Amino acid sequence: MPIVSIQLFPGRTYEMKKKAAERITDIIVEELKAKKEDVRVVYQDIDKENWCIGGKMF
């Protein structure tokens, strides 16, 4: 069961995430020969104050 985890800043709409998940699922099915119903896409919206890049808070 392929699981794709995507962490991002808040602000994307449901429709944006839905469209991206559909396309990501299609790629996993095509390239990894997984069954469509087995692909999982998980979004985690993480506030900017919880990100650190290069040792510095974002």
C-alpha Rg value of the chain to the nearest Å: 14
Which ranges of the chain does DSSP label H, i.e. alpha helix? 14-32
* Site of tokens 């069954």: 35
Decide if 23 contacts 29 (C-beta within 8 A). no
10 tagged catalytic: no
Active site residue: 1, 2, 5, 30, which one? 2
Residues identified as active-site: 2
